[in-house]
Structure 1
Amino acid sequence: MTDAPCVGLSSVRQRDRSPLDDMYRNHKRDAVLFIRRRCARTGIDPEDIVQSAFERLAARQHVQSSAGIRKERNFLLMTALNILRDQVRQSRTQAYMAHHLDLVGPFETIEELTPEAVVAGRRSLEILDKALSGLPAARRQMFLDSQLEEKTIRDVAAKFNVPRTTVHDIVTAALRSCSRALNPPSDDFSRS
């Protein structure tokens, strides 16, 4: 056996910790409380939001550097708040689609679908396909990335190198186009 100096485990841990580890130890609790106050009625778990914020921060080089961030608590809180906003926005979009693009109808499960409902669903998909094929290729891809691939507006905007508002407007217009195609105005002349 050698006479190696006995170093306490806590001092080894402190030496090997990254700035992100310190940020986690110092600010996780505050971040969870901060997000919990803002997502009380959304059904979103604040722990998940904060974990996503730390994952996003871990992917950034400047957080891993020794220089770090001047106001790391504020940076963490704003990152978590942005993730919360993205998730709320995405859930609103999904709720809008579920309400306006009701393809299945009142059926709860696939087993309850009748042959008529399957035919009606296929017809709706054909109508949607036709409506989407009328869009320019880039706009159609933005819509599909946002709605089918469940990418955030920010991710789609980065992919196409356009502002987020542009992507939001394109997706909204495509949703309206699909809604109009599925629910054409009636030929009723008794409009008020």
Structure 2
Amino acid sequence: MNKPLHQDQLSFVTPYIKKSATKSFHTQASKNQLSDSQSIDTLFRDHWLDVCRLLHKSYGSGPPEPEDVAQEAFSQFAQMKNITEVKNPKAYIIKIAINITLKSIGKLCKVREFIIEQVDLEDVQLNEICPETILQGEQRVTAMQKAIDKLSSKQRDVLMYVRIKGQTYAQISAQTGWSIADICRQLNEAMAILESIDQQVQGTSVSAEDSVNEPDFSLPDNNTNEWKL
């Protein structure tokens, strides 16, 4: 649980991190050409590995993955206007990549805080922490992450907008065109699913623990008055 946050796999956040990474880079590159025959394709070939290596060295293997961030950085650069005026394209692309990475890590931090809040790990007193408590906490966090993956796309979007980005229903409605009533309903359904999964995990843990710790007071098969110890 103490490993760096950026190493945790929170898969439901991935669509928000990659956004346009799946677009064809070469299609975007054809829209803007650098002067002196230095095209975006040339920049891509010359500096792609350097950008990936710098990101990997500075921020690790992800998420967000260095390759995806580099792809997005080159894509954003290709869509800029007046790119011929950029004196140092490589440095500018690296700056874009770093900004994308920091923004993505910030989102992951908020997601992690949200999950921990849902499993009430902050209520655990220090004197109650033991291997069993830590294991149960890890199991609940893992279950919550899997539960989020099972939400519908719309439910995940609403959850992201409200609980992670902190947007109001009105802001989400203006941005997406969804009605406020629908947004409220989707959020309530998502939270109900997450709470149900969390309760199941807690119930499973309690049942397993009780079966080990509780003595068996059932009567023996011969129906005598002796208690089974």
- Confirm or deny a common fold (TM above 0.5): no
TM class by shorter chain equals 0.3 to 0.5
TM-score, normalisation: structure 2:
0.37
